[in-house]
Amino acid sequence: MESQRVVEHLAHELRRSVVIADMDNQIRGVSYRAEDHQILSRDDVDGATAVVQDWLRAPGTQRRRAGETLQADSGPAWVTIPLLVDGDVTGWAVIAWRPAELRSEQLALVDIAATLFATVGSLQPTGREGRRVVFRNLLDSDPATRRASLRRASTQRWLDRRDATDMHALIFDDEVDVLERLRITQVLSRTLPGRAEVLRERDDAVFVLSGRAPVGTDIGAQIRAWAAKGSVPLRAVGSAAVRPDDEDLARAAHAAVTVAELSLSMPELANVTTGDSLGGWALLHAVKGHRGLLSVASPAAELLCTLGDTQRETVEVYLDEAGQARAACERLHIHRTTLYYRLDNLPEVVKAALADGMQRSTLHLALKLDRLWAAAGV
Q: What is the mean pLDDT of residues 162-173?
A: 89
Residue type, 169: A
Are residues 25 and 114 both part of a single domain? Answer: yes
On whether both 83 and 38 belong to a single domain, the answer is yes
Does any domain span residue 159? no
Same domain, 302 and 269: no
Read off the pLDDT of each residue in 123-143 and give the average, rounded to a whole number: 81
Q: Can you give the CATH number for the domain in which 236 is found?
A: 3.30.70
Instruction: Kindly write down the DSSP assignment for every residue of 192-209, as one continuous string.
Output: SSS-EEEEEEETTEEEEE
Q: Which of 284, 310, 345 is the last residue of a domain?
A: 284
Question: How many domains is the chain partitioned into structurally?
Answer: 3
Residues 14 and 109 in one domain: yes
Residue 61 confidence (pLDDT) above 60: no
Pairing outcome for strands 27-31 and 88-96: unpaired
User: DSSP labels for 106-157?
Assistant: HHHHHHHHHHHHHHHTSSPPSSS--HHHHHHHTT-SSHHHHHHHHHHHHHTT
Within a domain: 149: no
Please indicate, yes or no, if residue 54 is contained in any of the structural domains: yes
Give the model's pLDDT for residue 324. 93
| Lowest-confidence pick of 277-281, 288-292, 301-305 | 288-292
Q: Is the pLDDT of residue 121 over 80?
A: no
Of all residues in the chain, what percent carry a pLDDT higher than 70? 88
Q: What residues make up the domain containing 230?
A: 165-284
Average pLDDT score over residue span 275-293: 70
Task: Please state the φ and ψ torsions of residue 197, each to the nearest 5 degrees.
Answer: -125, 130
Domain-located, residue 88 = yes
Mean pLDDT, residues 205-219: 84
At 234, is the secondary structure helix, strand, or coil?
strand
Query: Is 132 a member of any domain?
Result: no
pLDDT tens, residue by residue, 15-40 = 999 998 888 888 888 898 888 888 88
Q: How far apart are CA 94 and CA 156, in angstroms?
A: 34
Domain C-terminal end among 259, 284, 309: 284
Are residues 32 and 113 both part of a single domain?
Answer: yes
Look at strands 165-172 and 88-96 and give their pairing. unpaired
Alpha helices in the chain (DSSP H): 3-14, 37-40, 48-56, 59-63, 104-120, 131-137, 143-155, 178-189, 219-229, 250-265, 280-285, 293-297, 299-304, 309-320, 325-332, 336-344, 348-355, 357-376
The tens digit of pLDDT for each residue in 308-351 reads 889 999 999 999 899 999 999 999 999 999 999 999 999 999 99
pTM, 2 dp: 0.76
Report yes or no on 18 lying in a domain: yes
**Do 325 and 352 lie in a common domain?**
yes
> Residue 73 pLDDT more than 60?
no
CA distance 233 to 145: 32
Residue 131 lies in a domain: no
The answer on 185 and 248 residing in a single domain is: yes
Of 89, 120, 151, which marks where a domain is finished?
120
Q: Does one domain contain both 277 and 299?
A: no
pLDDT class of 194 with cuts at 50, 70, 90: confident
Mean pLDDT of the chain: 83
